[in-house]
């Protein structure tokens, strides 16, 4: 699949896949100077890129597992969504879940982006829903493990 991408900054890095079978393409910080994120703080990190997501798809922004597990940095909204009609700069709201300040440098990998199809639902208001074995059982209602 070809996806159009536009550099909004000459220093922007085009997303790259870490291996042949990677689902997510790494996004890179496009910043003029280091950004320090204090414990419990969220900072918006620019990528310097705009993307033209194909209709029927979304670009979903996830944490990089190493950044999250080793440094406590992950997208504040857990999963960012870039819609097919958005043409602005792709940015990542990185949140510091650790107890130490963390610094992001220019060109550092900050998140990963997965291009994936989605289904658009038509919501139908009804008086009753069909019965299931689980019914209205909430969190943890399907087992103890």
Report pLDDT for 144.
Answer: 63
3-state helix, strand, coil in the chain (%, to 5): 5, 40, 55
Say which CATH number the domain at 42 has.
2.70.40.10
Report residues of the chain scoring pLDDT below 50.
Answer: none
Residue 46 burial (CB count, 10 A): 19
What one-character-per-residue DSSP string does 97-143 give?
Answer: -SSS-EEEPTT-EEEEEEEEE-PPP-----S-----SSTT--TTTT-
Which residue segment(s) compose the domain that 52 sits in?
4-117
Q: Is residue 106, in this structure, part of any structural domain at all?
A: yes
- Whole-model pTM: value is 0.90
Residue 145 lies in a domain: no
Q: Please check whether residue 130 lies inside any domain of the structure.
A: no
Task: Return the H-helix or E-strand segment holding 65.
Answer: helix 65-71
Residue 113 placed within a domain = yes
Cα Rg of the chain (Å, integer): 19
- Asked if the structure places residue 24 within a domain, the reply is yes
Is residue 125 domain-resident?
no
* 59 close to 51: Cβ distance less than 8 angstroms: yes
pLDDT in tens, 3-19: 999 999 999 999 999 99
Number of domains in the chain: 1
Query: For residue 140, is it within any domain?
Result: no
Please report the pLDDT score of residue 136 as a whole number.
Answer: 84
Q: Which of 86, 110, 94, 103 lies closest to 15, judged by CA?
A: 110
Residue 95 within a domain: yes
Provide the CB-side half-sphere exposure for 32 (13 A, CA). Answer: 1
pLDDT for residue 55? 97
- Per the listing, tokens 């019965």 go with 131
Distance CA 40, CA 96 (A): 5
């Amino acid at each position: 699949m070809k996806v159009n991408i536009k550099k909004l900054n000459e220093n922007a890095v085009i997303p790259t896949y870490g291996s042949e079978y990677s689902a997510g393409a790494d996004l890179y910080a496009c910043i003029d100077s280091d950004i320090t994120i204090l414990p419990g703080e969220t900072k918006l990190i620019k990528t310097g890129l705009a993307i033209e997501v194909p209709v029927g798809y979304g670009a979903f922004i996830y944490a990089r597992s190493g950044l999250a597990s080793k440094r406590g940095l992950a997208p504040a909204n857990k999963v960012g969504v870039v819609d097919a009609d958005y043409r602005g700069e792709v940015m990542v709201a990185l949140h510091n879940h650790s107890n130490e300040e963390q610094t992001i440098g220019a060109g550092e990998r900050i998140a990963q982006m997965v291009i994936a199809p989605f289904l658009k639902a038509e919501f139908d208001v009804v008086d009753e829903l069909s019965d299931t074995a689980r019914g209205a059982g909430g969190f943890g209602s399907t087992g103890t493990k």
